Amino acid sequence: ELGISNSFYYEAESPFRVENRPIIYKPIYNFTYKTKEESIKKMIPLIDKIIEKHQDENGIIHTPSFSLAWDIKKKSKYGKKMVIPKNPLDVKNHMNKENVIVGPNFYEGVDFKDDNARWQLITKVPYMEISNPYVKYRMKNDYEWYFNETLKRLEQTIGRI
């Protein structure tokens, strides 16, 4: 109980038509530390196909780590179009140049509005790091909290463009 008594719920229709905001779910790999190389081999052709379809548009590829971002850049035939910013604040220096921004931590704090990004790819569900003692404690005592935090992160990630 939060002690909030004066609140209301408001739901509004999206101003964007459904056909203009598709979410395409393609579970083609089980990405874990053990399956990383195999997963990357399956991932690269899909990434290249998406970039090919959107050659003249900026895009974002969300990764769980800088390591995966660099692997994608090295193995994609579009690696030269890819930029891996050091942090979310550095992203603005690479917008509007027909680039593909690749990296972690773009699930909040960065706005890819208008032509800054017209498409995005989420390579892995943005789970919270379970090696973090706080996350580990909360997860152990309230798994629903962990699940809800993951859903919030995923929703934030989808909302970048």
Q: List, in sequence order, every residue forming a beta bridge with 122; answer none if it has no partner.
A: 62
- Per-residue tokens: 140: 């152990």
Q: Can you give the pLDDT at residue 84?
A: 92
Q: Can you give the pLDDT at residue 1?
A: 57
Query: What distance in Å separates the CA atoms of residue 51 and residue 61, rounded to the nearest whole number?
Result: 10
Task: Tell me if 124 sits within 8 A of 154, measured CB to CB.
Answer: no
Q: Mean pLDDT by 10-residue block, N- to C-terminus, for the chain (161 residues)?
A: 77 81 77 85 94 90 92 96 84 75 82 81 86 91 90 83 73
Query: What distance in Å separates the CA atoms of residue 107 and residue 51, rounded to the nearest whole number?
Result: 20
